[in-house]
Homo-oligomer: A and B are copies of this chain.
Amino acid sequence: MNNFDLQNPTKILFGKNQIANLSKEIPENAKILMLYGGGSIKKNGVYVQVIEALTNFDVIEFGGIPANPEYAVLMDALQVIKDENITYLLAVGGGSVIDGTKFLSAAALYEGKEPWDILVKNIRTLKGMPFGTVLTLPATGSEMNSGAVITKAETKEKFAMGGSGLFPQFSILDPEVIKSIPKRQIANGLADAFTHVLEQYMTYSVDAKLQDRFAESILQTILEVAPTILKDPSDYKAASNFMWSCTMALNGLIQKGVPSDWAIHMIGHELTALFGIDHACTLAIITESHYTYNLESKKEKLAQYAERVWNVTEGTIEEKALAGIKKTTEFFQSLGIKTTLSEYTDDYKGTAQIISKRFTDRGWKGLGEYGKVTPSDVEKIVEMSY
């Protein structure tokens, strides 16, 4: 097991009717900017619950944060924060709204000249404007971690950001919100959370037995509840297990003391930036080719995964590893998610070269748990995913 530091101060309020407890978590004299997305919260009852809970607060609203939170939109929100002397941010939405709020938390107290630098220079935020979240879409885990991904539309680029000052002070997780989520977004959430676990698990062994088993536990739980929650999103038992699995998949716990990969996400982000493909779908596109291309360095863990998560008992290590990859692709497909790039766009030719060149241009030397997946390897992986 590798050395690690772990600290996660976010308070989770999980369960039915927890939104009613919102007001207890925010300082009395706070002036709140409430951020949300395209307005689904006005249809599913969450908006009304939040407004009712905040009766005694001074609240200004900022809606319209898009999926893949866009820098220009966030800069408009930043202006509101400054004009209105906002002291507290409340994200009501999924990963995009929460990620956008994290950028605002950082930018609001940023002492440099240009908030853009937080992204391009990857400046870590040690102290941000305090914020909380009401999660409406389980998937990204952003509700209990300190990272975010922000998009710049003009250049079709996505930037990761974060820092210990960007944990939400609290996050409210009411599984009842899931019943009004469109099936496509539930499928995306399942695939996203599943891949988050894989990125932190499918590497080489450092004999971190407990971390491995925790990762496998989340994968098994997602697999177990996926058919139920897709069929009936109002099944509270399945919804609560789905929601808690998504949070635990990326709240930092399972990555402590182990190597992590994240190449699937790094490559996938480029597919979203280039084609606007849903984040989770880009992960489903890249996973099989990434694991197949890097079979030699990942086969032991892939075989362990096949054995423990998929009950594959027969075959050599390599055969089990390949069976694990195949099962993973089939799982994505069972969610209704297509797993090759050409199923999303006719304009896929040359994508491998474009993404590879982007990585080269940024001066990145290598992705993955060994830092050895080069831009040239990325080209081959993307080609395999056409």
Contacts and interface: CB of A to CB of B under 8 A. Distances in A.
Nearest to A237: B207
Given A6-B12, A6-B14, 19 more contacts: A1-B237, A1-B241, A3-B16, A4-B14, A5-B11, A7-B9, A7-B10, A8-B8, A14-B256, A207-B240, A209-B224, A210-B217, A210-B221, A210-B248, A213-B218, A214-B214, A240-B257, A244-B257, A253-B253
A244 to B, nearest CB: 5
Contacts of A1: 14-15, 175, 237, 240-241, 244
Contact of A210 (B209, B213, B241): B241
A12 B16 contact: no
Interface in A193-228: 207-210, 213-214, 216-218, 220-221, 224-225
Nearest to A214: B217
26 contacts: A1-B14, A1-B15, A1-B240, A1-B241, A2-B15, A3-B16, A3-B17, A3-B18, A4-B12, A5-B12, A5-B13, A5-B14, A6-B11, A7-B10, A8-B8, A14-B256, A207-B241, A210-B217, A210-B218, A210-B241, A210-B244, A213-B217, A216-B217, A217-B217, A240-B257, A244-B257
Contacts of A241: 1, 207-210
Contacts of A218: 210, 213
A245 interface: yes
Interface of A: 1-18, 175, 207-210, 213-214, 216-218, 220-221, 224-225, 237, 240-241, 244-245, 248, 253, 256-257
Contacts of A220: 213
A6 B8 CA distance: 11
Q: Which 7 A-B pairs have the closest CB atoms?
A: A3-B15, A213-B217, A7-B11, A1-B240, A6-B12, A207-B237, A210-B221
A383 B221 CA distance: 40
A173 to B, nearest CB: 10
Contacts of A11: 5-7
